[in-house]
Amino acid sequence: MRLSGPPALYAADRAAHLHGHDRSCPYGGTGTPLCYTTSRTAHPPSATPTTERPMSAPMPFRRLGRTGLHVSALSLGTVELGLDYGIAAPGHFGRPAEADAIRLVHHALAAGINFIDTARVYGSSEAVLGKALAGRRQQVVLASKVSTQGPGGTGLTPADLRRQMLASLDASLQTLQTDYLDIWQVHNVDRATLAAADTLADVFDHARRSGKIRWSGGSFYGDALPLAALKTGLFDVMQVTYSVLDQRLADAFFPAAEAQDVGVVVRSVLLKGVLTERADHLPAHLDALRRRSQAFRTLAAGSGLAATPAQIAIAFALAQPAIHTVLIGVRTVEELADNLPATAIRLPESLQRQLAALRLDAPDLLNPATWGIP
């Protein structure tokens, strides 16, 4: 949804209207990883230096659709910083201590990651980020989410929906210790949400005019809802699922999103850990996922690339030109470091074809919400 004019911070990006994808923007203490180019006359605001050392080559950046923002190819998903989330594999489950979570965020910034995603329902995630980003807010594109459902998943009247959304926004801002969000997303958009498009447009516009948000967004499951949402024009940025196993959006959504210059953020690129050795700890009713994971890991091991299965899975998503940034959910600095090399991997066409053949067309298996695990 195109709202009233963007703040000065983004004006140069919109004016330049850069459509190129990867741009290497080394992190530096005198600038911001919002990736300004030398052709622009506007100067980026100064950013507070970090003491952590980058863990890999300079991070590539991509233009986030019509927002004009330049975001890191990898972005930080933070559900695991606030909740016990994912497959309960030994040593890979359970939220980190607050001090460790803050350290992880600082290392992500030092590595060039400038897009961070959270939500009101991610437990203590917003509170952790509020502390981690103290003095560093200008270094990041910060996104959070709001629920549009009432208690127990019930619907809301337009007036109640407006009140709930604006109250949630104020709570997010207070917890995150900031006075604005770069991107404010409706969490898990459904048909009822889209039916309330007029109310959402009004709320987004009010929040934008009050200076509390910059751009509107939504997060989605499946392939039908994202396509339907595109038709509303409500969302500047759309967060969707995509992975080696879940390639449904490549058929119609990605071309349509590119045509509308919508920012595309991808999550679940490892399908909640299924594309790693964690799949060996899946419950019996998810055997089909375990078998497909084993096939993927066997293919990755025989690829001849000096890369882990997780890195190959991330590289597969990054090879999709419609995707602007890939969310990675990590619990430790070590897990972060393991994922960073994915941005430098170029998959041979033959391997891309083999990976594409692993596509799984089973909606229930591709939606972690149906698995019956945290």
pLDDT surpassing 70 at residue 1: no
Segment 178-212, tens digit of pLDDT = 999 999 999 999 999 999 999 999 999 999 999 99
Would you say 55 and 337 are in contact if contact means Cβ atoms under 8 Å apart? yes
In angstroms, the CA 189 to CA 199 distance is 14
pLDDT surpassing 60 at residue 142: yes
The token pair at 175 is 């917890």
Segment 87-110, tens digit of pLDDT = 666 766 678 999 999 999 999 999
- The whole-number pLDDT of residue 54 equals 44
pTM given for the model: 0.86
- In this prediction, residues 161-189 reach a mean pLDDT of 98
CATH number among 3.20.20.100, 2.60.40.3080, 3.30.70.2740, 3.90.1150.10, domain 8-370: 3.20.20.100
**Closest Cα to residue 256, out of 240, 245, 269?**
240
Written as one letter, the residue type at 203 is: V
Higher-pLDDT residue of 53 and 218 is 218
pLDDT surpassing 60 at residue 9: no
Segment 238-276, tens digit of pLDDT = 999 999 999 999 999 999 999 999 999 999 999 999 999
pLDDT surpassing 50 at residue 41: no
In which order are the strands placed within the sheet that holds 60-63? 23-24, 60-63, 70-72
Longest dimension (CA), the chain: 59
- Inter-CA distances, 166 with 178, 182, 214, 320, 373, Å: 15, 16, 15, 35, 31
User: How much is the mean pLDDT over the chain?
Assistant: 87
- The whole-number pLDDT of residue 89 equals 66
374 band by pLDDT with thresholds 50, 70 and 90:
confident
